[in-house]
Amino acid sequence: MTILCDLEIRQLCEQQQMVWPFRPELLNPASLDLTLGNEIMIEVADQRDLVRMDISERTEQDPYWMLPNEFCLAETVEQFNLPNTISAQFVLKSSRAREGYNHMLAGWCDPGWNNSKLTLELKNNLRHHRLPLYSGLKIGQMVFHRMSSTPARSYAVTGHYNNHLRVMPNVA
């Protein structure tokens, strides 16, 4: 596998809408920054399943505050349509990690993953302080890899998480 550079990422996004919306200001030399979307899922004490919460009105000045040790699922603004020759890996921005955010390392995206927003598994690793979440927060970056060849079976055929345009709990 080869990691794609900024020029290749831009070309694939502009020509094939690999990532939509594509915003050139989020492009890095070997990755594309991702931002938080409008919905998260949080744990509520008296409910077994995570509860959906709209954070579209939250801002940097008035965020949703993730409590110490709190876990949530969050969606990206960005929607993905990976070609059968491209895989991708989500990584937390180092600035977010240094603030205390953690991502559960479940951000692998197979070739053919399509028509979906990425669901992030976030945790506040701090013991005493809250962390802000709001729509538009730069949370991480996607690193794209060119496959050595086209897989025999695309994730477009085998995947459980295609066609999900909102944050998704486990569907297996």
Residues belonging to the active site: 121
Q: Which of 149, 157, 76 is nearest to 113 (CA)?
A: 157
Structural domain count of the chain: 1
Write out the chain's pLDDT in tens, 172 residues.
799 999 999 999 999 889 999 999 999 999 999 999 999 999 998 888 999 999 999 999 999 999 999 999 999 999 999 999 999 999 999 999 999 999 998 889 999 999 999 999 999 999 999 999 999 999 999 999 999 999 988 888 888 788 888 888 876 5
Say if 167 falls within a structural domain: no
Sequential DSSP letters for 13-34? HHHH-SEES--GGGEETTEEEE
Say if 157 falls within a structural domain: no
CATH number at residue 82: 2.70.40.10
- Segments forming the whole domain that contains residue 54: 2-149
Cβ atoms within 10 Å of 46's Cβ, excluding its own: 4
Say if 163 falls within a structural domain: no
Say if 171 falls within a structural domain: no
Task: Specify the 3-state DSSP secondary structure of 82.
Answer: coil
